[in-house]
Amino acid sequence: MTARRTSLIRRRKAVDHSQESLAAALQVAVSTVAQWERGESDPRPWQRPHFA
**What CATH number is given to the structural domain containing 21?**
1.10.260
Q: 41: which DSSP letter?
A: -
This prediction has a pTM of: 0.81
How would you classify residue 18: left for phi > 0, otherwise alpha for psi between -120 and 50, otherwise beta? beta
Q: How many domains does the chain have?
A: 1
> For 1-52, how does the pLDDT look when each residue is reduced to its tens digit (9 = 90+)?
567 678 889 989 999 999 999 999 999 999 999 999 998 998 888 888 877 6
Radius of gyration of the chain (CA): 10
Range of the domain at 45: 3-51
